[in-house]
Amino acid sequence: MCVVLDDAKKLYSGFNLADPKTSVSMTINGPASIIAAFFMNAAIDQQCEIYIKANGLEAQVESKIQEIYKGREHLRPKYFDNSATENGGELPEGNTGLGLMLLGVRGDDVLPQDVYAKIKADTLKQVRGTVQADILKEDQAQNTCIFSTEFSLRLMGDVQQYFINEGVRNFYSVSISGYHIAEAGANPISQLAFTLSNGFTFVEYYLSRGMHIDDFAPNLSFFFSNGIDPEYSVIGRVARRIWSKAMKLKYGGNERSQMLKYHIQTSGRSLHAQEIDFNDIRTTLQALYAIYDNCNSLHTNAYDEAITTPTEESVRRAMAIQLIINRELGLAKNENPLQGSFIIEELTDLVEEAVLSEFDKISERGGVLGAMETMYQRSKIQEESLYYETLKHTGEFPIIGVNTFLSSKGSPTVLPQEVIRSTTEEKEAQIRTVQNLWERSGAKGEEQIKNLQHLAIKNENIFEGLMDAVKYCSLGQITNGLFEVGGQYRRSM
């Protein structure tokens, strides 16, 4: 993958990224801080476009763009889609194209610096979304690390410090993720314990850099998986209980800092290629767990994610699960319908006790980072994954249509009818876009890479430099430049 600023504008064209009603989540982990800088610049340039149109400056701006590309018009990028020719492509129905006016240039290329600075400041205070960024669970479970763990952690801190400096309050600087820990094989207790302990590690690190708890704790969010096990029915309330106690009693955080915000995605691991239609039933039950446990947001998996990229039909069915529960199911209209239930209260206490016990085991190994050095979390996840697969194989853990109650017609693995892949034209267009960026940026791009390396060596804020570097450099350029000063990830063996 190689992302340039122009691609960010294409990707988010038509969506007003600074609109309070728009919230975007980026589940990109290894180069998370770089992608976040692309996103922020796309949002700023969108607002520049709105300003240009509101003040009737289109002709003046187009004249400046033509001057910038004079003699090298072939380097000016165009919008591209599946039906595109060399002259560009058609916008999807209902898409306004917001953000495409400045494709190939930046807002500060065409507007006075004071105007651009005000638009930038205002946009950063409004933009909403989440960037995953959680490097600890990457090492423990998902394996999409690119920089050394120490350098990645520092980049996360730089992002949060930039958010504090620029007043970015509506954007979550990190989604502390247990979902990928669960998908790798962890049981619900380990998922919750590892995720919360990772969260407290970020808190301790940010505090060590001199940040105040109330300046960053509200910018942290959590991301859990929901499976079928009973513990999942209380995962949110246990997380909130532990987090609020720690924030209030240990860190002295205010009421906003004490509020743990979390997203639930139904379990991908629970989806099966046999009797594939049954997956929607499993997802519905997991969604009920999440809604009854008062999650802040919810993603319901499409039934065919077990075998391929979801289709429009399967995504609509997945969305219908949430809509039917929220709009039709009477009990769901009562917030906290299970509050006071004996089993829920008992499970909450038992799961909290189990999580705190796991905290002790991590502490005995030198905390999260110390435990990671001996691969404690990774080993435990692997053991629990093997245990789950063993139970599934023997039938002790019943999965309807997979290892028990098989259809009289058999339960063959369903194969995908269509696998979505990029076309040759799309791939070639992307390669041209990147090469054109390198050519038109020239020495300026190399200068930005050297500046990033200087910031890293001098222990200054790298994300602040990234906000400028992404205007001239591709993701690959920036990554290679930072490898030289931050180190490439190497797994402990």
Q: So what's the pLDDT on residue 255?
A: 97
Nearest to 383 by CA among 129, 186, 212, 221: 186
| Sequence-ordered list of residues with C-beta below 8 angstroms from that of 386, at least 6 positions apart, any chain | 185
Question: What is each CA distance from 310 to 315, 405, 420, 424, in whole angstroms?
Answer: 6, 27, 9, 21
How many Å apart are CA 446 and CA 160, to the nearest integer?
Answer: 26
Which residues are paired to 129 by β-bridges? 24, 171
Q: So what's the pLDDT on residue 134?
A: 92
How many Å apart are CA 484 and CA 395, to the nearest integer?
Answer: 51
How many Å apart are CA 55 and CA 216, to the nearest integer?
Answer: 37
Count CB atoms within 10 A of the CB of residue 107.
Answer: 23
Local structure of 321: helix, strand or coil: helix
Token representation of residue 480: 């290679």
Q: So what's the pLDDT on residue 18?
A: 74
Q: So what's the pLDDT on residue 48?
A: 97
CB environment 270-308: b (16+ within 10 A), e (fewer): bbbbbbbebbbebbbebbbbbbbbebeebbbbbbbbbbb
Q: So what's the pLDDT on residue 81?
A: 55
Q: Are the C-beta atoms of residues 152 and 145 closer than 8 Å to each other? A: yes
Angle between helices 113-126 and 149-166 (to 10 degrees): 110
Domains of the chain: 5-126+421-486 (no CATH), 132-394 (3.20.20.240)
Token representation of residue 341: 């239930």
Burial class of residue 34 in the structure, from the number of CB atoms within 10 Å of its CB (0-12 exposed, 13-18 middle, 19+ buried): buried
Sheet arrangement for strand 174-177? 174-177, 220-226, 262-266, 297-299
Local structure of 102: helix, strand or coil: coil
CB environment 445-457: b (16+ within 10 A), e (fewer): beebbeebbebbe
State residue 88 phi and psi, 5-degree precision: 110, -165
How many Å apart are CA 230 and CA 253, to the nearest integer?
Answer: 31
Q: Are the C-beta atoms of residues 183 and 268 closer than 8 Å to each other? A: yes
Token representation of residue 105: 């240039």
**Tokens 């430099």, residue located:** 465
Alpha-helical runs (H) found in 127-148? 135-137
How many alpha carbons lie under 13 Å from residue 205 in its C-beta half-sphere? Answer: 23
Q: So what's the pLDDT on residue 422?
A: 81
**Tokens 């008992």, residue located:** 346
Model pTM score: 0.92
Q: Are the C-beta atoms of residues 470 and 34 closer than 8 Å to each other? A: yes
Q: So what's the pLDDT on residue 26?
A: 52
432-476 per-position pLDDT tens digit: 889 999 999 999 999 999 999 999 999 999 999 999 999 999 999
| Sequence-ordered list of residues with C-beta below 8 angstroms from that of 250, at least 6 positions apart, any chain | none
Residues of the chain with pLDDT under 70: 1-3, 20-30, 80-89, 492-493
How many Å apart are CA 451 and CA 469, to the nearest integer?
Answer: 9
Local structure of 316: helix, strand or coil: helix
Token representation of residue 40: 């922020």
